[in-house]
Structures are given as structure tokens and as C-alpha cells.
Chain A
Amino acid sequence: MDLDTVLNRPWSGWSKDDGPDTDVVLSSRIRLARNLEGVPFPVAMKGEHLTAVMAAAERVVESLNSGAGLGRYSLIAIKDLRQLDRAVLVEKHLMSPQHASNEKYGALILREDECVSIMVNEEDHFRIQTLSSGLQLPETLRLANVVDDAMDRVVRYAFSPQIGYLTCCPTNVGTGLRGSVMVHVPALALTGQAGSVLSAVGKLGLVVRGLYGEGSEAAGNVFQISNQVSLGQTEGDIVANLSGIARRIIDQERDARARLINGIRMQLEDRVFRAFGVMKNARIMSSAEALRLWSDIRLGICAGLIMGIPLAKLDELLVMSRPGYIQRTAGREMEPSERDITRANMIRKLLEV
């Protein structure tokens, strides 16, 4: 795999194929936390244990690469990556910000289409992550299980029949599973319902997290909804519960969109096309402004007001407008003011038809 290919493009293999319900759900994600039997967790690891984990990681890559239809995987040491390369991997959600500074022990196993990434020696020895477009948690779980099974054939996981997969933090013990969906709810935000809808979700034992900017609105009106409990439920039940709640949010957001279109169509059009006009013409653009405009334009595309721009293309903006991606593409570090100019240029080019 050529890592540069992954880092050069603002899109990912998973974001290219349009999943179901992408008008509201940006992505589905599954994470499985796994550790090696008999090796201390990274927090208590010593140099000699690193050898054992890295040997296991190499067996894992070999096993994954020899599995039919599993894709091509590479093992990359964090210390071998340049700072801006790491920043882009974080911006593409392929590894955590904490992992980016884990030079001593950290590594990443990455499938070339970015649907699968495995952090090695983050909080746990292995953090398997699978990503897909739209709402497809069961499918995303299935992929995670296929990867997990291929790994299970070549490593021995720390496991207790009583409390399941053993993890560094007791919050992940049991299935080691955290599922999340990233939802875009601009109409709920515009109609002032986002707060109540999302806090109702919180009451169901799920965790809602706004990807926050400045001011009083979640940046881009994007929220992430995840399960909190990983023990005492099957993987299937956890995912079914999360899917059911995501489905309710989708319905509520679509209702709110319909009310906007039927009720105040002209105001909505005005808002959407103002955003579109600024986005296509601005010469200086902060990342906060880009996210705000992205949200309005995305709503406009979904409502059928703006034609000819596929959602997947617009969503490239989410990676493209991030500081790491801008600077890596330019090949050098930049001051924020210079980034704002480059960002405006890149976005104008993206939206040229």
C-alpha cells in the first residue's frame, strides 16, 4: 500500500460508496478493544513486551493479507511518520490524537481503502476500527468481526468467561465494543429541537457528543452518538439498540426538513444559496466558517435545492478544510491566516463544476 495515496486524497474508500441514509448519517463506526493474553497493557508495558506485541502485529497483518477478500494491509510505526502525515491520519479518523504522539510503542495497521484501521498499543494492544458510509452498523460490525476472527487465528486474546475481553479501562470490558454514528441534524438545530431530541437520546443510555465549535451551535450541527455499556449485552444487541435510536433521529430530522421546506421555503432557499455563494466566492475562509457553510449547503443538496453536487464530494470538505490536510498538501507548515486563504482556494476548486 502506498500511504501517500491515502494521505493525498480528501476522501476515503468508505466515503466513496454512498451508504443508506447519508442525508442524515455521515458514517457508522465500530471499535473493538482487544489485548494479548499474558502481556501487560500498554500503560504498564516495558520494552521487552513491545517485542511480543509487535510480533503479534506482524502475524496479524500477514493473516489479514492472506485472507480472501479482506483487502491489503500495511503496518506503520508512528515514529516513522512525519508530523503532518500523523495529523492527516487523525483528521481522517484513522487514529486518535493521543496515538499520534505515541512514538515509543505506537503503530497503525491500515487497510488501503481506509475501511479498517487497527491502532497498536494505544490504550489497548489492539483497537480494531471499521468505518462505513451512512447508517449500516450491522454491516460495519460484520466487517469488524471478520477482521477480529482473522486476528483471533494468530494471536491469543486476554479473555475471561465471566467478564469477557479484558481491557485496560473497565469501561470497555466485555465485548470491547463501541459503536457510533455521526449524524448531521441542521433542521433540528434550525427549529430549536436539537437539544431536546439529543438529550432524549442520552436518557436511553447512549452518549451524545457535539463536535463543537465556537458559539452556541455544534460546529456543522454534527453529533456523534455512541453506546456507553459494553458488558452484559451481546454485540448484536448493542448495535441493534444504537441503530434503532439512530433511525428515530433520522425520522425526526427528515420531519423537521419537510416542515422547513413546506413552511418557510423562501427563507430556507435564501440561507442555503447565501452559503453556497460565499463558499464559491470567498478568498479567506476559517475552518469554523467552512463547517457552518458546509452544513447549510448539505441541507440544500438534501432538500433538492442545489443540484449537481454529490454529497460524497461535498463531504470531502470535512477533511480538506482541516489544518493538517491543508499544510500537508502544501508541503509545509503555515500560519493560520495563510491557511485560511489556501482553504478558500481549495474549496472554490472543489465546487467548480
Chain B
Amino acid sequence: MMLCNRCGKNPASVHVQTIINGVKTEYDLCDACAHEEGYISMFHPFTSGAGNFVSAFLEGMPWTGTVSKPEQCPVCGWSYDEFARTGFVGCQSCYEKFGKRMEGVLRRIHGATRHVGKTPGWRKPTGDTKLDALKAELEEAIRKEEYERAAVLRDQIKELEKKSLSH
């Protein structure tokens, strides 16, 4: 029976593998240690409280570069520190606000930064050229971190969609 890599006492029950910058790290943990490290709830079928897991990815990642540290998400008020502490973000705009940093986190967790799966109905091309153009413009605004413009564009899109629905 394999022993826990953390305490060295109890039999290991959880196998954990992380890929960080392409480097694989593996641990075998006992139930108690896995719980303390925040893995248990993550691997529960319902996957709550993976916070510590994400925090572990953020540790040892000092804020570097010329970009100043984003303080707070303008929409929900969630701070970057809260994200670093809990591993959770407060709203979808946090992903935009913590953009560059978030990309690093995603690469560390998933080994990828681009979604290739399903798309919800409202984000699929509509065939309405004006609407599709606005949506493309919205993506652009988000990428350039122009939040005010993004908010205006969101409203315009909603307005246009309401009209096309009422027809």
C-alpha cells in the first residue's frame, strides 16, 4: 500500500497530478492531507471549493511586469487578492479584469487557454450582419480591456436582439 507523500503515515487514497508549465508533478495523498490541501472537495463529483487548489497555482507567482496590479473588478467589486486567497472569481467580468494573470492561471491548470467546445445559442453567428458585427466589436473591446465601450456594446446587442425577437 502506498503511503501519503505529505504525512508519510497514512495510506494514500488520492492521486493528484498537476501540469505546471509543461512539468508534471504527482502526489499521492491520504484522505486527511488531501482534505487539508483542498483536493477532496475538488474531486467530489460536485466539485466545490477548489479554491485552495487554484491558490496553489497562484503562489510563487509574484506580480511582475510593467502592468500595474489590478485592484478590483469594477462590476462585482471582487479584488485580485480575494481571487488569490479563495481561488474563486466574483463574476464573469473578473476574467476580463484579471486578464493576463488569468491566462497564466488557466495555462497552469488546463495546459490550454482556448475553448474549443460547445457555444451557447446567443453567441453563435446569427446571420444578422449588424448583430454579428456588434458582437465581434464586443469581443474586441473586451480583449482591449475597454470596459466602458464593452458595456455600451452589450446594451446595444440586447436592444437589437429584443427587436428581432418581437418581430
Contacts and interface: CB of A to CB of B under 8 A. Distances in A.
B46 A98 contact: yes
Contacts of B42: 171, 207
B46 A168 contact: no
A41 B88 contact: yes
Given A208-B15, A232-B115, A233-B117, A123 B75 contact: no
Interface string A231-267: 1111100000000000000000000000000000000
A132 to B, nearest CB: 14
Given A43-B90, A44-B76, A169 B51 contact: yes
Nearest to B11: A216
A162 B46 contact: no
B26 interface: yes
Nearest to B89: A168
Interface in B104-145: 105-106, 109-123, 139, 142-143
A37 interface: yes
Interface string B79-110: 00000001111111001000000100110011
A198 B16 CA distance: 11
A229 interface: yes
Interface core residue of A152, A171, A230 (most chain B CB under 10 Å)? A171
Interface string B1-43: 1100000000111111101000010101001000000001111
A180 B45 contact: yes
Interface string A176-213: 01101000000000000001001101110101111010
B167 interface: no
Contacts of B75: 40
Interface residues on A, range: 35 or more
A153 B120 CA distance: 9
B78 interface: yes
Nearest to B43: A209
Interface core residue of B41, B44, B75 (most chain A CB under 10 Å)? B44
Contacts, number: 201
A223 B152 CA distance: 50
B118 A175 contact: yes
A242 B87 CA distance: 26
Interface in A82-107: 93, 95-99
Contact of A98 (B26, B49, B110): B49
A123 B46 CA distance: 9
Contacts of B110: 173-174, 229-232
A296 interface: no
A235 B40 CA distance: 24
A160 B13 contact: no
B1 A123 contact: no
Given A41-B88, A205-B19, A207-B16, A169 B50 contact: yes
A166 B122 contact: no
Contacts of A149: 121
A41 B90 contact: yes
B115 A160 contact: yes
Contacts of B19: 205
Contacts of A212: 13, 31
A174 B115 contact: yes
Contact of B106 (A43, A129, A148, A173): A173
Nearest to A168: B88
A218 B26 contact: no
B47 A123 contact: yes
A322 interface: no
Contact of B95 (A29, A166, A180): A166
A273 interface: no
A230 B49 CA distance: 16
Contacts of A208: 14-15
A303 B118 CA distance: 42
Contacts of B1: 195, 216
Contact of A232 (B17, B87, B111): B111
9 contacts: A161-B115, A162-B113, A170-B54, A170-B109, A174-B110, A199-B15, A208-B14, A216-B11, A232-B115
Given A165-B120, A199-B26, A209-B14, 5 more contacts: A96-B45, A96-B48, A127-B46, A163-B113, A203-B26
